[in-house]
Amino acid sequence: MALSRRGFIGAVGATAATLAGLPLEAAEPERRRVAKVEVLGHRGACAWRPEHTLASYAKAIADGADYVEPDLVCTKDGVLVARHECNILETTDIAQHAEFANRRTTKTIDGETQTGWFVEDFTLAELKTLRAIERLPKLRPANTAFDGQFQVPSFEEIIDFVAAESAARGRVIGLIPEIKHSTYLSRIGLPMEDRFLGVLGEHAYTRTNPVEIQSFEIANLKYLRSKLGHREQLRLMQLVWMGDEQPADVVASGGKLTWAEMLTPKGLADIAGYADVVAPLNRALIPVDAAGRLGQPTPVIADAHRAGLLVHTYTFRPENHFLPTDLANQNGDAARNPAGSIAEMRRYIDAGIDGFFTDDPGLGRLAVDG
């Protein structure tokens, strides 16, 4: 699977720390450990609601997620919105809007050529005329009942929503935003990082409550670290894929670093120089064998901990389609299998992870709490 990702950050205007209103802390703190494994609501609770909608975040919070995840891309007029990718063909009803038919196009983003409609070709006002749809209708047909009900939310709307939920429920709810396609968006004149820092600084909730910033790229995380420094409520997470492919910014700069090299002891030590968390794909931590059964843990978790990093992983999904063969049941590929999903998550918890992304935070909560 090609997964070329985000990018090289050039010089960007005014000092982001000033924009964000967040004073730089120069001293590096002791490496943190979590009191309990953290449940990260992947795109909200997208096993139950169309992803990246306020309904999905609401379900994740109600089901006990410690953090909720907005993936962030940028509109034509510079507003950060929550979509997993720039292409909105599979997650909105854009194809039903005849007024936007002439904006269908083909682009190559992070090495992947795709056809559809792209967030950066629309203003926020135009996006607000669309409605979200279920991305996996064959596997999650019940979610299609919510098609057409919810807007594409902006990052600011999500922060306000999470702050309101936190106040109503009397518990802290973290945000774990992913900055998507940094290299690509910077090259077309929509750099993300200072916009992102500006939004963080404008909201009291994100100035004082847990925020974990993630990216598959390296340069943007280093840039954010240089502007934000180290602070108690803030973490930076390096997402990692597998194999001999490379992060998008490494490709763009002509570098040689591969995903596999990032998960070696040396690579993990390098990550610890600018990030607090490493997040490999779950199969990089416990692989499956040729028959699809879960095997034994690799050294990555122990190596990462020795480097001073927390270890998060992605993504646990409750349908048989996504489960290891030894944990799936006989109810069909698209069937929900709560027992199998909980068992899978517990294997990784027992291996020593500090947190995990799941499409079903309710099952994640059960896996952690018992």
Is the predicted pLDDT of residue 285 greater than 70, yes or no? yes
| Structure confidence by residue, pLDDT tens digits, 31-89 | 557 789 999 999 999 999 999 999 999 999 999 999 999 999 999 999 999 999 999 99
Q: Given pLDDT bands bounded at 50, 70 and 90, which one contains residue 294?
A: very high
pLDDT of residue 35: 81
User: Token pair for residue 1?
Assistant: 């699977």
Contact call for residues 149 and 131 (beta carbons, < 8 A): yes
Q: What is the pTM of this model?
A: 0.91
Is the predicted pLDDT of residue 16 greater than 80, yes or no? no
| Structure confidence by residue, pLDDT tens digits, 196-221 | 999 999 999 999 999 999 999 999 99
- The ranges assigned to domains in the chain are 32-86+150-369
β-pair partners for 115? 106
d(CA 350, CA 69): 24
Helices marked H in 253-293: 259-262, 265-272, 282-285
| Structure confidence by residue, pLDDT tens digits, 219-241 | 999 999 999 999 889 999 999 99
Q: Given pLDDT bands bounded at 50, 70 and 90, which one contains residue 7?
A: very low
pLDDT of residue 232: 86
Is the predicted pLDDT of residue 23 greater than 80, yes or no? no
SS (HEC) of 196-209: HHHHHHHCHHHHHC
Q: 29-38, 265-274, 353-362 — which is least confidently predicted?
A: 29-38
pLDDT of residue 356: 98
Please give the radius of gyration of the chain, using alpha carbons only, rounded to the nearest integer. Answer: 20
Architecture of domain 32-86+150-369: Alpha-Beta Barrel (3.20)
d(CA 241, CA 217): 11
Contact call for residues 346 and 368 (beta carbons, < 8 A): no
- Per-residue pLDDT averaged across 254-277, rounded? 98
Is the predicted pLDDT of residue 2 greater than 90, yes or no? no
